[in-house]
Amino acid sequence: MGIENKNIEMGAFLVKKLTEIGIALSAEKNLSRLLEKIVEESRNFSNADAGTLYIMDEDEERLEFAIVQNDTMKIRMGGEAGPITWQPVPLKKEGKPNFSNVSSYVAITGTIVNIPDVYEAEGFDFSGTRAFDGGTGYRSKSMLVIPMKNKGNETIGVLQLINALDTETQKPIPFAPEYVDLVASLASQAAVAITNVRLYRDLERLFESFIETIATAIDEKSPYTAGHIRRVQELTIAIAKKMNEQEEGPFKDFFLNNDELHELRLAAWLHDIGKIVTPENIIDKSTKLEKVFDLANLIDTRYEIFKRDIAIKALEEKLALCKVGALEEMEFIRIGQKALEQYSVLEEEKEFIKTCNKSGEFMDDKKIERLKKIAANKWNYQGTEMPYLTDGEVYNLSIKKGSLTPEERKIIENHSLVTYKMLSKLPFPKKLRHVLKYAAAHHERLDGTGYPFGKKADQLSYPERIIAIADIFEALTAKDRPYKKPMSISTALDVLDSLRKSGHIDGDILDLFIKEKVYAEYADRELDPFQIDC
Ligand SMILES: [Fe+2]
Ligand SMILES: [Fe+2]
């Protein structure tokens, strides 16, 4: 076999190796690991003892140290080991391009620099390299510095390889010229991979920030639910992580990896997205008569009119007596007393209506009957006979429990169906394919009585059940709901326990929630001290 054939074989081998490295790089989605791999692979490829990878900062003003590797010195810095704190290399000095540093020179000019011995090289300032050598006893000799250019031919970083080692003697030798093009090609493949990973990461961040922005907007829609979504998402993850830790019991086979936890977190961020269409006045309805404002104020005013009508009537009667000259004191007193009696009846009625209007007031049949009786009274408004209370007022005041009419409750409940409809329009990537399912099921119940789809236990996975419990616990303990005082943890846990007994929520998750005090950290952060009673 001639030398030429050998060269061809070697060339084919290197190209094959390069292709393999390119494929490996493009498969790496983690930026830190990708950067490490780039330095490792290019060092392997060129048999270099050390290597540094610089990344251009966003303003394109400096090169930041991303990876430093040195086999002889057993140094591994950057990447997964955390950021390097060394001062970046400026691309400009006193307003002029920094050509004295070899890496910045390469970054600015886009050319490759191959130096057999940096101590003998001219044109560049290697004081930094010498200082490193002086401090460590290392001897930097040959150096290959290559710009990393992406598809748009923009330099996004610089790869610096130090001390190519002779395969037999392991002594530093110059980087062979035939390797230079191949390492340059590897560097551009690396640049493309970095650009792709960054693009992917930026898109992912943008998507997540967008979701959080929408969730915040929904929370902000109502001052009474501010922070609900954020808090549900925190509780959800706390529960899931605790379930992950279990090696025994019902969750021993349950495990969500980082991607799956991320998917669950997004689902929790999105669970109430359907509330975007729910009118605020229904979300915030704190009394039975509260529409855009509390209609109870109108009734109050109306009762003031009733009272004035009585006063006027009494005065008219007295005036009539005066006119006919019948100035009997007793009759005057009688008229006054009658007016006072009517006053107190009205006052009592007004107070009764006020009590009925409270969301916490349970309305039994007797109270509803009394309400109807009051409503049937008539008063004169601009010559027309009007009932004391309108049909709508009676309907709202007769709400047996809570502050919502069945129609308003339907509107509120509709939000989970809207969540489903909205999210089903989004083309979630495979990694996030369960977001829709998890997010839309937070009001489903294991016994099938939930909404929007009435799913049953066998259709509800653990992640769906976790969000449901987090949602209820947050709602019960929230400090900012208009229609109720915040519950203490023990009371909230009692309510959750009753929901478990009625077959609504998962008992195993609840047991873990209570036993492991999964809520503890959350409570310290989010609840008032008086609520934290267990
Ligand atoms: Fe909800
Ligand atoms: Fe919710």
Q: Is the peptide bond before 223 cis (omega within 30 degrees of 0)?
A: no
Q: Which ligand is nearest to the CA of 440?
A: 1
Q: How far is the CA of 479 from the centre of ligand 1 (A)?
A: 17
In sequence order, which residues have a C-beta less than 8 Å from that of residue 123 and are 6 or more positions away?
Answer: none
Q: Which ligand is nearest to the CA of 474?
A: 2
Q: How far is the CA of 235 from the centre of ligand 2 (A)?
A: 12
Q: Which ligand is nearest to the CA of 481?
A: 2
Q: Dihedral (C-alpha) 102, 107, 108, 114: value to the nearest 10 degrees? A: 40
Name the CATH code of domain 222-271+435-531 (choices 1.10.8.60, 3.40.50.2300, 3.40.220.10, 1.10.3210.10): 1.10.3210.10
Q: How far is the CA of 52 from the centre of ligand 2 (A)?
A: 49
Q: Which of 167, 171, 147 is nearest to 157 (CA)?
A: 147
Question: What is the architecture, at CATH level 2, of domain 3-200?
Answer: 2-Layer Sandwich (3.30)
Is the separation of the CB atoms in 393 and 375 below 8 Å? yes
Nearest-angstrom CA–CA distance, 245 and 248: 9
H or E element in which residue 372 lies: helix 365-376
Tokens read off for 515: 């036993």
Q: How far is the CA of 402 from the centre of ligand 2 (A)?
A: 18
Q: How far is the CA of 416 from the centre of ligand 1 (A)?
A: 6
Considering just the CA atoms, what is the radius of gyration of the chain in Å? 38
Q: Where are the domains of the chain?
A: 3-200, 222-271+435-531, 296-403
Furthest CA-CA distance within the chain: 146
- The helix/strand/coil state of 192 is helix
Q: Which ligand is nearest to the CA of 469?
A: 2
Q: How far is the CA of 85 from the centre of ligand 2 (A)?
A: 43
Q: Which ligand is nearest to the CA of 231?
A: 2
Q: Which ligand is nearest to the CA of 475?
A: 2
Q: Which ligand is nearest to the CA of 268?
A: 2
- How long is the chain? 534
One pLDDT digit (tens) per residue for the chain, 534 residues? 566 777 777 778 777 878 888 888 888 888 888 899 999 989 998 999 999 999 999 889 999 999 999 999 999 999 888 889 899 999 999 999 999 999 999 999 999 999 999 999 989 999 989 998 999 999 999 999 999 998 888 899 999 999 999 999 999 999 998 888 888 888 888 888 888 888 888 998 999 999 989 988 888 887 767 789 999 999 999 999 999 999 999 999 999 999 999 999 999 999 999 999 999 888 888 788 887 677 888 999 999 999 999 999 999 998 988 887 766 778 889 999 999 999 999 999 999 999 999 988 899 999 999 999 999 999 988 889 999 999 999 999 999 998 899 999 999 999 999 999 999 999 999 999 999 999 999 999 999 999 999 999 999 999 999 999 999 999 999 987 665 688 999 999 999 999 999 999 999 999 999 999 999 999 999 999 999 998
Q: Which of 68, 69, 70, 142 is nearest to 102 (CA)?
A: 142
